[in-house]
Amino acid sequence: MAEPGRSGTTTAPRAGADVARRAAGSAAAGCALAGAVAVTVAVVAGPGPGFSGYVSESGIAGGAQAATYRIGILALAAALLLIGAALPPGVWAAAPALLATGAVFTAVSGAVTCSAGCPLPPFERATNADLVHGGASIAATASVVFAMLTLAVSGPAGPAVRRLAGVTAALALPLCATAGLAMLVVGRGAVVGVLERLVLVLLVVWGLATATVLALDRRPARRL
């Protein structure tokens, strides 16, 4: 026979954890939306070269929209951390770890600005800051895509989260590969600029959609 009060002592902490995860999901959705709006405003309002340049050019130190861009990037980094915190228990530990890694590299890419034009090898001479910024941006994107792949096959994540992760990863992987190849073959230009924006839009939409699903998830956490 169960001891009186035992059910309450085990259910209450679990219910509290569920509420905390939903709150983290709501905060993640807010950060993702705010970050996306801020970066979009910086890119559209800034004096950048349009689709022929990189999104990061809006954050060049001294630029009119540099602060707006940097705030947006940091908000997106926070969204990644919060999505990891909102994931249900039992999800493969690699997923929140990869999201945290992506958040760190995203923050680094926002903190370390590139020089004018955000030059990258092999066609342009890059400074150390350019290399750090570019490397952090690539690492952040890779970490998030690998987190998607992990979530896509992690049962406890739930069907909606797995489906979102699988579909987005299937779209993002070929775009990332094509963008990387284009950077090596043709360099900076409209092709790379468009591909970069498509990848970023996919990642932001995934983050916002996943955060919303996690915020609205009323399923009780499974006992492990």
Instruction: Write out the DSSP string of 18-74.
Output: HHHHHHHHHHHHHHHHHHHHHHHHHHHHS---GGGS-GGGGG-TT-TTHHHHHHHHH
- State which residues of the chain have pLDDT below 50: 1-10, 223-224
Q: Collapsing DSSP states into helix, strand and coil, what is residue 188?
A: coil
Choose among 94, 107, 105, 82: nearest CA to 207.
82
Under 8 Å CB-to-CB from 83, ≥6 apart: which residues? Answer: 24, 25, 28, 99, 207, 210, 211, 214
Instruction: Say what the pLDDT of residue 190 is.
Output: 87
> Contact at 8 Å (CB) between 84 and 100?
yes
Q: How far is Cα 126 from Cα 113, in angstroms, rounded to an integer? A: 12
Pairwise CA distance, residues 45 & 187, whole Å = 25
Instruction: Say which residue the tokens 């895509």 belong to.
Output: 145
Classify each residue of 116-149 as buried b or exposed e, where b means 16 or more C-beta atoms within 10 Å of its C-beta: ebbbbeeeeebeeebebbbebbbbbbbbbbbbbb
What token pair was written down for 224?
A: 């492990």
Residue 172 is inside which H or E element, if any? helix 159-185
pLDDT tens-digit series, residues 20-37: 899 999 999 999 999 999
Token pair listed for 111: 């903190």
- Residue 13, pLDDT score: 64
Query: Three-class SS of residue 186?
Result: coil
- Angle between helical axes of 128-152 and 190-216 (0-180°, round to 10): 40
Q: How many CB atoms lie within 10 A of CB 156?
A: 16
* Structure-token pair, residue 129: 């800051």
